[in-house]
């Protein structure tokens, strides 16, 4: 089997990790003139980490003789890629790849850069590790050499702490997050991991996140793989937020004042993406569901689990209602929202609120049509089963929307479902419904319309305010 043995040697400068030596033994097919590996010169706005003068990228045979490489740069989705093609075929299909990277001060979101802060370093493999062209699966064996770190230091990646193994494809190293620090604080509960440096206030957020993961993973019948949250502290951060990848989330905060209840919903949202996913090509086709369902269940599951108070729930609902109902772009089509991804922040946010408030409506409609026997959970689970089996046809995303219409339409009526969906696609705005939050033993949540003001235009609009119903009402 193809195998990559990777050793990362972080170096401590008394305050943080100032360099990391990377050494890889590649047991892969290596042929002259054929692409062997590639690095991402740029990922969105983040360059590949700086290389130390004494540690450029070097490929050698196991005896240390250099294998010269030619490189080719090409533009890819959201970045630039440099492809390395060996110019000779080594005697054995084995080579050693070495270089040393220098982290820079921890940067803003997207938190892909290899960024250092007092205590340690965090980042995505995208900005300091290669991807491989080898076909078939590759066994990765990762070892942390902590000989240049203080005692008590440790290192981790998405798939666990310390030395570990993982089987994957050529992209496994670049679609993982990494951290090393002294000390690297960690909360572990089952397959859940949460890492941070130095701030004792993060312990509480880690415990909340562990409770949410435990509840969500049971609800979605998770298969028990590790899920990791990595924490970065940096200055460029208006709201806490981060970047998700396979089974992991790296997030950023600026100050202790940001460590409030809204983090529970942030982590709950990111975790939901582990289990709810649909093909979304072109972007925008299924974003209403992918992000809308993450919004829906990130409110509902912590509420069902009793992890958030009624006040925390309604405060978060109010934040999301203002974000959506006062968004000047809320009537854009799904396609227009997809095209505006990252170029216009307000338009980028629309599918989140649109999906959330439409799914609150759909949940209520399912409950009404089924006399309370069913809820959105049933349609969501059936859609998950179909997504796992895969969607066929020219456009898997259109097929996914069709599957939603069929499953939801089977309960509320197909004509009604189609009519609603066309309205959704072209920017209709639904009033909030709150049936999803009616739980035995919990106070009821209600929504009343209030005068709102569109952001940017200043025009008046209808917004909504959620409150907890008290006993006297
Ligand atoms: Zn999301």
CB 106 within 8 A of CB 33: no
User: How many angstroms does the Cα of residue 273 sit away from the middle of ligand 1?
Assistant: 7
User: How many angstroms does the Cα of residue 66 sit away from the middle of ligand 1?
Assistant: 45
User: How many angstroms does the Cα of residue 89 sit away from the middle of ligand 1?
Assistant: 44
List the beta bridge partners of residue 20.
Answer: 10, 101
What CA–CA distance (Å, rounded) separates 320 from 298? 12
User: How many angstroms does the Cα of residue 295 sit away from the middle of ligand 1?
Assistant: 7
Write the pLDDT tens digit of every residue in 8-55: 999 999 999 999 999 999 999 999 999 999 999 999 899 999 999 999
What CA–CA distance (Å, rounded) separates 262 from 240? 9
List the beta bridge partners of residue 79.
Answer: 43, 76
User: How many angstroms does the Cα of residue 366 sit away from the middle of ligand 1?
Assistant: 24
User: How many angstroms does the Cα of residue 159 sit away from the middle of ligand 1?
Assistant: 21
User: How many angstroms does the Cα of residue 359 sit away from the middle of ligand 1?
Assistant: 15
Domains of the chain and any CATH numbers: 2-184 (2.60.40.3650), 208-272 (no CATH), 287-468 (no CATH)
User: How many angstroms does the Cα of residue 293 sit away from the middle of ligand 1?
Assistant: 9
User: How many angstroms does the Cα of residue 142 sit away from the middle of ligand 1?
Assistant: 29
pTM for this predicted structure = 0.94
Residues 6+ apart with CB under 8 A from 362: 376, 379, 408, 412, 420
Query: Nearest-CA neighbor of 298 among 276, 322, 278?
Result: 276
Write the pLDDT tens digit of every residue in 354-396: 999 999 999 999 999 999 999 999 999 999 999 999 999 999 9
User: How many angstroms does the Cα of residue 200 sit away from the middle of ligand 1?
Assistant: 27
- Burial annotation 363-372 (CB, 10 A radius, 16+ → b, else e): bbbbbebeee
Within 10 A of 147 (CB to CB), how many other CB atoms are there?
A: 8
User: How many angstroms does the Cα of residue 278 sit away from the middle of ligand 1?
Assistant: 12
Write the pLDDT tens digit of every residue in 151-203: 999 999 999 999 999 999 999 999 999 999 999 999 999 999 999 999 999 99
CA torsion, ordered 294, 226, 193, 20, to nearest 10 deg: -110
User: How many angstroms does the Cα of residue 39 sit away from the middle of ligand 1?
Assistant: 26
3-state secondary structure of 434: coil
């Amino acid at each position: 089997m193809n195998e990559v043995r990777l050793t990362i040697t972080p170096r401590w400068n008394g305050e943080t990790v100032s360099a990391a030596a990377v050494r890889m033994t590649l047991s892969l097919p290596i042929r002259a003139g054929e692409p062997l590996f590639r690095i991402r010169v740029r990922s969105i706005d983040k360059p590949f980490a700086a290389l130390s003068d004494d540690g450029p990228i070097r490929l050698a045979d196991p005896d240390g003789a250099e294998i010269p490489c030619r490189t080719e740069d090409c533009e890819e989705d959201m970045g630039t890629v440099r492809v390395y093609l060996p110019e000779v075929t080594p005697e054995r299909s084995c080579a050693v790849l070495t270089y040393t990277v220098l982290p820079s001060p921890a940067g803003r979101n997207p938190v892909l850069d290899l960024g250092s802060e007092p205590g340690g370093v965090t980042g995505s493999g995208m900005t300091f590790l290669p991807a491989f062209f080898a076909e078939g699966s590759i066994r990765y064996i990762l070892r942390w050499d902590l000989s240049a770190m203080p005692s008590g230091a440790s290192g981790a990646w998405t798939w666990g702490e310390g030395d570990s193994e993982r089987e994957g494809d050529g992209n496994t190293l670049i679609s993982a997050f990494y951290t090393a620090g002294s000390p690297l604080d960690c909360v572990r509960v089952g397959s859940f991991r949460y890492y941070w440096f130095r701030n004792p206030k993060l312990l509480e957020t880690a415990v909340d996140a562990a409770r949410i993961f435990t509840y969500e993973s049971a609800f979605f019948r998770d298969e028990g793989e590790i899920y990791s949250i990595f924490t970065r502290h940096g200055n460029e951060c208006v709201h806490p937020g981060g970047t998700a990848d396979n089974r992991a989330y790296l997030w950023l905060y600026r100050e202790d004042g940001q460590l409030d209840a809204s983090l529970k919903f942030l982590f709950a949202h990111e975790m939901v993406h582990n289990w709810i996913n649909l093909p979304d090509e072109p972007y925008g086709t299924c974003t209403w569901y992918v992000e809308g369902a993450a919004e829906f269940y990130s409110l509902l599951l912590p509420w069902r689990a009793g992890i958030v108070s009624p006040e925390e729930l309604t405060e978060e609902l109010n934040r999301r209602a203002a974000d959506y109902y006062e968004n000047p772009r809320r009537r854009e089509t799904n396609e227009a929202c997809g095209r505006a991804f990252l170029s216009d922040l307000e338009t980028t946010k629309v599918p989140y609120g649109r999906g959330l408030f439409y799914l609150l409506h759909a949940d209520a409609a399912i409950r009404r049509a089924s006399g309370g026997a069913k809820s959105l959970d049933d349609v969501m689970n059936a859609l998950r089963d179909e997504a796992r089996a895969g969607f066929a046809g020219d456009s898997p995303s259109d097929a996914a929307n069709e599957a939603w219409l069929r499953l939801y339409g089977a309960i509320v009526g197909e004509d009604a479902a189609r009519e609603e969906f066309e309205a959704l696609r072209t920017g209709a705005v639904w009033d909030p419904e709150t049936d999803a939050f009616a739980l035995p033993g919990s106070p009821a949540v209600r929504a009343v319309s209030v005068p709102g003001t569109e952001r940017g235009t200043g025009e008046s609009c209808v917004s909504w305010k959620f409150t907890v119903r008290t006993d006297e009402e």
